[in-house]
Amino acid sequence: MLRILSGIQPTGTLHLGNYFGMMRPSIALQDEGDAYYFIADYHALTSVHDPDLLRANVRGVALDFIACGLDPRRCCFFRQSDIPAHVELAWLLSTVTPMGLLERAHSYKDKVARGLDASHGLFAYPVLMAADILLYDSALVPVGKDQKQHLEMTRDIAQKFNDRYGNTFRIPEPRIGEETAVVPGLDGQKMSKSYHNTIEIFAEEKVLKKKVMGLVTDSTPVEAPKPVENSTILALYRLVASAADVQQMEQEFMNGGVGYGDFKKRLFGAIWEYFAPQRTRRAELERNPDEIDRILADGAARARQVADVVIERAREAVGLR
């Protein structure tokens, strides 16, 4: 059966970019194969340095993911740090990973340029990501365009290990499609907590409306036609509204006579309605906190069964057994 793997960092409240970029495509893959989804709390340590906040974020991600449709009965859902083999395998892989490969990582350069500490953890992020993927003999990894290079690096690292020690790891294939397209944020850049431009999935109604009404737009007057291309309002509306409603808004953009404020109000209403069932489900889960602990514990036990086999294979390959 096709083994699928994907992870998400608990670095804050999940937003529309997380949902449409990673969560929704991953949930759709539950029926395509043997799906493994994890909360990447080891990775989060490069940017989250408050232990209480990290614990809260992990629980928040679990609540959000399950509320949005992840079914623990149809996949394996677990916390990365419950499987210490992730970091052991990362060390084994680091011994075959060329420095030049890591120095070419776009993500590292971008994050340092935006003020993150240039730590070894941030620099070696692709090695831990490779361990995450290879530890489960993953065949398919759904990634966004911004993670494509890291998946290519995973393939390079796995091949270098196999070349040195024999055929130890399966070489994974990426899935990069429209479902992982970049979701624009409040300022038109990619929606990201790093850019402080996010729209949270489960924000309170007033908070959500204030954020949407704060979307950056140009100065086109109400009566004039408005550009359809590269419109953040339209890009977000296409994600949450019906095809007919999207077509109507596009036509009104081109006709003129409607202001950006009205379009933003319509966008807010569509987002609020789209996530109404998920909000109800999340509230139910919050009333039963032990259920989240049970789901993560069960997922870790299932993940460990696979991870133990692969890490033992890697230990034997390098001579630790």
Residue numbers annotated as active site: 111, 190, 193
Q: Is-contact 197 114, C-beta < 8 A?
A: no
Query: d(Cα 69, Cα 283) in Å, to the nearest integer?
Result: 14
Query: d(Cα 116, Cα 68) in Å, to the nearest integer?
Result: 30
**Lookup: tokens for 187:** 């300022």
**If phi over 0 gives left and psi between -120 and 50 gives alpha, with beta otherwise, what is residue 74?**
alpha
Query: d(Cα 267, Cα 87) in Å, to the nearest integer?
Result: 43
**Lookup: tokens for 64:** 């959000």
Q: Is-contact 212 199, C-beta < 8 A?
A: yes
How many residues are listed for the chain in this entry? Answer: 321
Q: Is-contact 292 62, C-beta < 8 A?
A: yes
User: Mind giving me the DSSP string for 74-141?
Assistant: TSEEEEGGG-THHHHHHHHHHTT--HHHHHT-HHHHHHHHTT----HHHHTHHHHHHHHHHTTT-SEE
Query: d(Cα 86, Cα 306) in Å, to the nearest integer?
Result: 12
Report in angstroms the alpha-carbon separations of 74 from 26, 29, 296: 12, 10, 14
Q: Which long-range contacts (CB under 8 A, 24 or more apart) does 166-169 make?
A: 166/317, 168/313, 168/314, 168/317, 169/134, 169/137, 169/310, 169/314
Query: d(Cα 141, Cα 169) in Å, to the nearest integer?
Result: 15
Q: Which is nearest to 40 in space by CA: 26, 32, 231, 114?
A: 26
